[in-house]
Structure 1
């Protein structure tokens, strides 16, 4: 896979290129949204927690299957809230993670300790420009504000890095690749 800096810098683009460079498996979380979620977004209706929870639990199960088989995996997913990231790490047990994070920390499975969240950061106007150029996706650019409204940027003690996507795609991927190789070998 070649890195083309004219490509839209999206989580899917960064994720698939990074997976290719690392030799890891790649999943685009958007491919696993239920049809009802896709229809709702296509109509300009933002998803709520009830729409997202089953989807995130399904993605958690996929990650755990890959981990159990020894496969390193990259998942492109808008895990906008801390609860969503907890669901990806712990499955349904993560629904109330804000209230019981210390208990979850004690019960952490080895797989969840290895999940690194990569927060791709950019100003909303830049993302809006890029979304306006995207074609054939079920989420219209009009929903971007709802995504920023829901965003709870990762913070300690979550396992994350924040990387700006204001740079060319190749630089963004290189920064993440270097971090992953240094941290996880």
Structure 2
């Protein structure tokens, strides 16, 4: 009786199949490279990043800061199509990651490739923004280095007077305009003031646009120098304005009442919430997780006061018959007005996204503000990453809620009690 052939002698089942041609598409930051490379590894095939196949002319154009048009992308797409057709002819599977999102781009890539499978990756704006923020901060460093290396320093002194006037307008006039507009729209004075401070600078995009104008010959070098000085001054100054925004608000509050319209419909700072009712738990963050906690506590007869910065979330909470207030977890004045003396627990379910250099952890801010306001009870915060737990405990949290870990532990407790079925 002959022995079965060894695995090395057996024919590869993939050799009898048609090649797998997979195109993974999506916006920047959605995970095309991560998913594509992992998929290629699972399929034991080649992974191709489309960005590495741009013609030299496209690379030079992008390096100069000019966007590509359809004529620029045509040879790039044809090159990728030829690569896929060549792989198909050789019965080789390929996973291609490409950001060509328009339908005509996909049609050009799929030309004469009837077996091409297209995967479109999607993600929430918050997730993609959080993924791109570190890359943005990293690339901004090189942008400013390149900008400083090409600027003519001799042109800066002649624009000093204009730079001072424009900087003062951006630092003072721009927040004032924002405050007036938001007050007219029905927002509270605090919201308008803090929003204005966050906009008290010109962005890096202003520098990019002016630099593009210089490269195209539409703007002279003096204008670039002027905008650069204004950008440096306003970006540096606004950093301190944002850092000390709450202290500045307390100083300016007596003067801001005229900018607040009576009866602010957009921000219902409702005083009808019964503080006379004892709330042993104050819950910050009325999203899905926070709402689930609040409803279950209410079912057990425990009164909960919900806090959220989203008026829609506050209204949804009230429609459920629960007490809720509109407020900002990072506002010391608002936190001090809460019935902290009646509460035993402060629970934060607010999602925290690490967004690069400008990131602020609202959980540690809540802990600090609550303790400064004299809260003597316990504080619980939510974390989706186990490595954050020690830092949260060190910051003063009494309990760190881990939704995913807790759910996994509960699932294990249920599943381990299942007895294996006995085979007859």
Q: TM-score, normalised by structure 1?
A: 0.53
Residue 128 of structure 1 is matched in structure 2 by: 129
Deviation for aligned residue 1:132: 2.5
Deviation for aligned residue 1:83: 0.6
Q: What SS does the corresponding residue of 2:110 show, helix, strand or coil?
A: helix
Q: Are the structure 2 counterparts of residues 43 and 132 from structure 1 closer, same or farther at C-alpha, using a change threshold of 3 Å?
A: farther
Instruction: Tell whether 2:82 aligns with 1:61.
Output: yes
Instruction: Tell whether 2:100 aligns with 1:117.
Output: no
Task: Give, in whole Å, the separation in 1 of the partners of 2:30 and 2:58.
Answer: 23
Q: Write out per-residue CA displacement over residues 52-78 of structure 1, whole angstroms, 9 at most, x where no aligned residue.
A: 111000000000000000001110111
Q: What SS does the corresponding residue of 2:68 show, helix, strand or coil?
A: coil
Give matches, 1:36-47, under 5 Å: 36-47=57-68
Task: Give, in whole Å, the separation in 1 of the partners of 2:31 and 2:60.
Answer: 21
Instruction: Tell whether 2:20 aligns with 1:19.
Output: no
Q: Are the structure 2 counterparts of residues 126 and 42 from structure 1 closer, same or farther at C-alpha, using a change threshold of 3 Å?
A: farther
- 2:49–2:97 contact (8 Å) kept in structure 1: yes
Q: Which moved more, 1:47-56 or 1:62-71?
A: 47-56
Residue 105 of structure 2 is matched in structure 1 by: 84
Deviation for aligned residue 1:9: 5.2
Give matches, 1:129-168, under 5 Å: 129-134=130-135
Deviation for aligned residue 1:14: 1.2
Task: Give, in whole Å, the separation in 2 of the partners of 1:32 and 1:118.
Answer: 20
Quote the RMSD (CA, aligned, Å).
Answer: 2.3
Q: What SS does the corresponding residue of 1:70 show, helix, strand or coil?
A: coil
Q: What SS does the corresponding residue of 1:133 show, helix, strand or coil?
A: helix
| Larger relative contact order (CA 8 Å, sep ≥ 6) | 1
Residue 50 of structure 1 is matched in structure 2 by: 71
Deviation for aligned residue 1:32: 0.6
Q: What SS does the corresponding residue of 1:116 show, helix, strand or coil?
A: strand
Task: Give, in whole Å, the separation in 2 of the partners of 1:13 and 1:26.
Answer: 11
Q: Are the structure 2 counterparts of residues 75 and 125 from structure 1 closer, same or farther at C-alpha, using a change threshold of 3 Å?
A: same
Q: TM-score, normalised by structure 2?
A: 0.24
Q: Are the structure 2 counterparts of residues 29 and 42 from structure 1 closer, same or farther at C-alpha, using a change threshold of 3 Å?
A: same
Give the number of equivalent residue pairs: 111
Q: Which of 19, 30, 34 is the aligned partner of 2:51?
A: 30
Deviation for aligned residue 1:35: 2.8
Residue 170 of structure 1 is matched in structure 2 by: none
Q: Which moved more, 1:121-130 or 1:54-63?
A: 121-130
Deviation for aligned residue 1:44: 3.7
Residue 158 of structure 1 is matched in structure 2 by: none
Task: Give, in whole Å, the separation in 1 of the partners of 2:82 and 2:47.
Answer: 15
Any gaps of 5 or more consecutive residues in structure 2? 1-28, 144-204, 206-424
Any gaps of 5 or more consecutive residues in structure 1? 1-7, 91-108, 143-185
Q: Are the structure 2 counterparts of residues 127 and 75 from structure 1 closer, same or farther at C-alpha, using a change threshold of 3 Å?
A: same
Q: Write out per-residue CA displacement over residues 14-54 of structure 1, whole angstroms, 9 at most, x where no aligned residue.
A: 11111001112111100111233233334443221111111
Q: What SS does the corresponding residue of 2:127 show, helix, strand or coil?
A: helix
Task: Give, in whole Å, the separation in 2 of the partners of 1:35 and 1:133.
Answer: 27
Q: Are the structure 2 counterparts of residues 78 and 123 from structure 1 closer, same or farther at C-alpha, using a change threshold of 3 Å?
A: same
Instruction: Could you list the structure 1 runs, at least 4 aligned residues long, displaced by more than 6 angstroms after superposition.
Output: none
Structure with larger Rg: 2
